[in-house]
Amino acid sequence: MKITWLGHACFLITSDKGVRIVTDPYDEYVGFRLPETEADILTTSHSHADHYNIGAIRGRFKHFKEPGAYVERGIGITGIETWHDEFEGAKRGKNIIYCFDIDGLRVCHCGDLGHLPDEEQVREIGKVDILLIPVGGTYTIDYRAASELVNRMNPSITIPMHYKTEKLTFNLDPVDRFLSAVGGGERAGKSEIEVSRDTLSSFPKVLVLEC
């Protein structure tokens, strides 16, 4: 599969058969410019504007915005209900973690996760091969909590998202703090990787994509 970071918490995940998944497309106020993107499957973790610009995505896609277990275009999709804050949603509401079973790999997109998942939620998530996790704090878990969750889940590859960059218009922690907390990582120098079950072990444990 191919995993392309489009900025913030938005990724384009393309299966070997060409099925296109887009996660959490953002509005322009974020500071990134979302490229013209088509999808077969669209997931949104919650309805805030920096994750829910569904009008920007082209194609006859199926939109998933609720927890549950689904199969669409041969891809297993599991949505796990979590919170956008540490107070069971009292400040920012709910968040949905989406897991995708694609090409023999399990990809987990944490959305705007605002707390450390409990043991039941971790069991629902299951064994993760590729973890897409927010690390910038303020509106999500911070780099310390993200590091702890990575250690608990032990994915083969962790790709950080939702952190401060030169383009981002609001204030989050930079990715370097997360890298220090997890003991380092590598910068890909590009926005896209191509990964399979056979090549999974050749990637660094933590990989920073460029937008």
Least confident of 2-6, 69-73, 80-84: 80-84
CA–CA dist 6, 18 (Å, integer): 18
> What is the reported pLDDT for 85?
67
- pLDDT confidence band for 47 (50 / 70 / 90): confident
Q: Tell me: the pLDDT tens digits for 179-203?
A: 999 999 999 999 999 999 999 999 9
> What is the reported pLDDT for 83?
83
- Region 98-115 average pLDDT: 97
Phi, psi of 53 (to 5 degrees): -90, 70
- Region 9-35 average pLDDT: 95
pTM of the model: 0.96
Distances (CA, A) of 106 to 1, 33, 49, 126, 202: 11, 28, 27, 9, 17
Q: Tell me: the pLDDT tens digits for 135-160?
A: 999 899 999 999 999 999 999 999 99
Whether 100 contacts 130, CB under 8 Å: no
Domain architecture of the chain: domains with CATH: 2-208 (3.60.15.10)
User: Which pair of tokens denotes residue 163?
Assistant: 């952190």
> What is the reported pLDDT for 147?
98
- Region 34-57 average pLDDT: 93
